[in-house]
Amino acid sequence: MANEREKLREILESTKSIAVIGMKRSGAAYSVPKYMERSGYEIVPVNPTLDRIDDLEVYDSVDQIDRPVDMVNVFRRSQFVGDHVDEILAMDPPPKTVWLQLGIRNDEAARRLEEAGIAVVQDRCLKIDHVSLVG
């Protein structure tokens, strides 16, 4: 457990920008990214049904983002995570980490991402871990 906590701390401390698949204008898919933004991270919303969230441009998919991001944070149901793997792998450069929020787990998608050299965190809340490990 100590090694896992240290690895999560390293990820959070080295991350500067986060693309958020499934970011919305309310609920946890809003409050978690907004907390991370207030904590100094650049947030890049991804949601094909929205144009803007607050003052942020929203992208239809992560492979359309026009700048590097360190992490992709996913707020989609587990069964839909696999739908995003190809677009994550098409990012140039690819993210260092893909973080699946609390309650979200897809081992096949994680395997594909890890085989491409991307660290994967599953079934953990980014905000809770940030508060407890970096705060």
Cα 132 from Cα 114, distance rounded (Å): 25
Most distant CA pair in the chain: distance in Å? 41
Give me the CATH code for the 2-133 domain, please.
3.40.50.720
User: What pLDDT, on a 0 to 100 scale, did the predictor assign at position 1?
Assistant: 47
Query: Of 122, 117, 69, which Cα lies nearest the Cα of 100?
Result: 122
Q: Using CA atoms, how far apart are residues 118 and 48, in angstroms rounded to an integer?
A: 24
The CA-CA-CA angle for residues 129, 130, 131, to 5°, reads 90
Nearest to 76 by CA among 28, 117, 114, 115: 28
pLDDT at 2: 52
Kind and range of the H or E run holding 115:
helix 107-115
Query: So what's the pLDDT on residue 89?
Result: 97
Domains in the chain: boundaries: 2-133
Mean pLDDT for each 10-residue chunk of the chain (135 residues)?
83 98 97 98 98 96 97 97 96 97 97 97 97 92
